[in-house]
Structure 1
Amino acid sequence: MTDRKILTAFTLLVLLVPVLFVSGCTGELSAEEIAEQMQEKEASIQDYSYTMQITSYIGNQTRESEIQTLQKKPDKTKTVIIKPEEEAGTIVVSDGEFMWTYDPKTNTVMKMEMPDTPVLGELDSAGIIGEFLNKTDVSLLGMEEIDGRPAYLLEANPKEEGEGLLFVDGMKLWVDKETWMPLRYEMYDSSGDLMMELEIRDLEINQRIPDSEFVFEVPEGATVKTLNFDSLIPEEMTLEEARESAGFEILVPEYLPEGYAFNYSTVSNNSLIAPEGQASETVFLRYENEDGDYIFLSETVHENEALEAPIMNSAEEVSINGMEGKYLDLGDMNILSWKIGDIDLSLTTSLEREELLKIAESVRENA
């Protein structure tokens, strides 16, 4: 699961939680009524701050993060990464018009004009919540204290198999009795294994956070890169278009499981935002069947040798046409990575190990 998907899930939960109690956790209200009640509850909160502690469990690996956040309506935000150590000191600040991201290790600032439309798309909050409640059974388990604050403990499970939110098939949420804000999350996969824990500490509401907190001053000597938001979102294209756009020869599998066909591809280059010497170009190929099951094949060429993603540290070593590869079983999602020449390849899908290996072995260098 990517960070962006996780953050999207968190955003939906923050929107949803106040509504669950207004509706008595029965889901009987219409989407329109839910949206009205949500807006009424949210109207009283003008600003808030907290520290979020995140623990993720991927394979045999545990990763801990800590982030400090300030937010002020309607559109001002500030986050500071405390942990992990390699990312500590990274700052992201938005005043609603521009977003600045500062990397202290490279002394680099990325400045980006915020888009006119929400990042999550054009679906309004009523539609998001209505869809979530239609697919989820929510129950109230009782009361517990989180960081000394009384909280309602909720459990949310998909009504139908495969209808979980972004690889999440079960959730527990602790919601502050006073502010109706979530204080803790636990997210589970379809096997009931814990994927991630989040806990919010030092929550403060309506403290009249000054606008000066969201004014970013460029550090002395820092390099500033100005970006366009649209340029960061790769365009969906045909395989022929991707071959014309990419700076390297794209490899394609000769074997696909029955029912799967090419859907679309994207080409992206991170040279505008990557630290010096760490630029790369990536091609994504998406294959899909009639049931909406997918196979993602990513191919990346790095400017210099790239470090292996931490998620693969606990992966199983495998052989692909005599080449070294790594396989990671994440329950609802499996990853297979290997290398052909200068190209780093990765398959991501819910298919079983043997099918991933069969697909990978059919990907060969062009003659």
Structure 2
Amino acid sequence: MKCLKIVFVLFMVVILFGCGPKTDEDLFYDVQKMMSRIDSYACEAEITVKGNLTPETYIFKQWFRKPNKFKLELIEPESLNGKITIYDGRKASIIHPQINQVWFMESFQHSDEQNMFLGYFLQNYLESEDVEIHREVKGEETFLVVDTEIPGNHVYFHRQRLWVNIEKMEPELLQVFDANDGMRIEVRYFNFQYNPKLEDHLFTVPESLEK
């Protein structure tokens, strides 16, 4: 009988403690696995740019396809509705359909547009050896927070912080900080879609506008 009691106690210990809450390291592994499987994504994003003047907020649609194709379509403010930024892996183009014109950006590196993309964070995260993680609770939701440096030692875009909703296992917030730890960009993601099929033409400027 005594042996049976010991076995029962050990069984209860396994049930109660063997299936306990995941550690930060367990969650980090889950998030790492999730992010490494992202080959493409589509979402809506509320983006706040905090410069020296009053912060400005925009609503965008966002698309990304590995390794480095990006597209932004501006929804709000209304005055800029339809403005599109495309990066095809070689050059960046800004399309303004309302006036049927396209401009080419001389440098997409370290631009506001590039830093708005979760895809750019994923590149930095996967290549960086300087990654910090911790768990944080906001209201009734729990997040795994992942910090990584932005390469290039840029004064205004120095570090990125991604907030991943643990219950949904979805990215919810991306923050970009300058070298003085001041927040420069904040991106909130909505209606996130993992690995949609994104065709090449999505990241191509129409021929009629290139001429």
TM-score class, shorter: 0.5 to 0.7
For 2:77, give the aligned amino acid. P
Return the alpha-carbon distance in structure 2 between the equivalents of residues 170 and 55 of structure 1: 16
- Measured in 2, the distance between the counterparts of 1:206 and 1:80 equals 19
1:77 — aligned with what?
A: 70
State the partner residue of 1:341. Answer: none
User: 1:172 & 1:43 partners in 2: Cα distance?
Assistant: 17
- In the alignment, which residue of structure 1 is the partner of 2:29? 22
Greater percentage in helix = 2
- The aligned residue for residue 154 of structure 1 is 145
For 1:30-109, what aligned pairs fall within 5 Å after superposition?
41-58=34-51, 61-96=54-89, 99-109=92-102
Q: Secondary structure at the match of 2:102?
A: strand
Structure 1 alignment gaps of length 5 or more: 1-19, 25-37, 159-163, 226-367
Match of 2:186 among 188, 197, 200: 197
Could you tell me how far apart the structure 2 residues matched to 1:190 and 1:216 are? 35
Instruction: Identify if the C-alpha distance between structure 1 residues 210 and 142 changes in structure 2 by more than 3 Å, giving closer, same or farther.
Output: same
2:202 alignment counterpart: 213
User: Equivalents in 2 of 1:108, 1:45: separation in Å?
Assistant: 33
Query: Per-residue deviation at 1:210?
Result: 3.7
Return the alpha-carbon distance in structure 2 between the equivalents of residues 125 and 170 of structure 1: 10
Distance 2:67 2:35 in 1: 11
Q: Which amino acid aligns with 1:91?
A: I
Aligned partners of 1:47 and 1:157: how far apart in 2?
A: 21
Cα distance, 1:97–1:176 mapped onto 2, change above 3 Å: same
C-alpha distance in 2 between matches for 1:94 and 1:193: 27
* Matched residue type, 2:193: E
Q: 1:189 and 1:74 mapped to 2: Cα distance? A: 25
- Quick one: which amino acid aligns to residue 28 of structure 2? F
Contiguous gaps of at least 5 residues in structure 2: 1-26, 111-122
Matched, 1:129 2:128: yes
Residue 151 of structure 1 contacts residue 176 of structure 1 at CA under 8 Å; is this kept in 2? yes
> Which residue number corresponds to residue 164 of structure 2?
175
Structure-1 separation of matches of 2:125 and 2:160: 21
CA RMSD of aligned residues (A): 4.7
How far apart, CA to CA, are the structure 2 residues paired with 1:98 and 1:67?
A: 20
Q: Which amino acid aligns with 1:79?
A: L
Q: For residues 280-335 of structure 1, what are the alpha-carbon distances to aligned partners after superposition, in whole Å with 9 as ceiling and x for unaligned? A: xxxxxxxxxxxxxxxxxxxxxxxxxxxxxxxxxxxxxxxxxxxxxxxxxxxxxxxx
Task: Tell me the distance in 1 between the aligned counterparts of 2:148 and 2:87.
Answer: 34
Report the TM-score, using the length of structure 1 for normalisation. Answer: 0.35
1-structure distance, mates of 2:175, 2:139: 14
Distance 1:185 1:91 in 2: 21
Give the drift of 1:198.
2.0
CA distance in 2, matches of 1:188, 1:47: 25
8 Å contact kept, 2:154–2:179: no
Whole-angstrom CA distance in 2 between matches of 1:169 and 1:75: 20
Matches within 5 A, 1:1-367: 21-22=28-29, 41-58=34-51, 61-96=54-89, 99-110=92-103, 119=109, 125=124, 129-130=128-129, 132-133=130-131, 138-142=133-137, 152-154=143-145, 166-167=155-156, 173-177=162-166, 182-186=171-175, 196-219=185-208, 222=209, 224=210
Per-residue deviation, 1:200 = 0.6
Question: Does the aligned pair in 2 maintain the 1:109–1:218 contact within 8 Å?
Answer: no
Counterpart AA for 1:209: L
**Secondary structure at 1:61 match in 2:** coil
Structure 2 residue matching 1:69: 3-state secondary structure: strand
Alpha-carbon spacing, 1:41–1:165, altered in 2? closer, same or farther (3 Å): farther
- Greater Cα offset, 86-95 or 62-71: 86-95
Distance 1:125 1:157 in 2: 7
Q: How many residues align?
A: 171
Report what 1:283 is aligned to: none
Give TM-score, length-normalised by structure 2: 0.55
The letter of the residue matching 2:186 is E
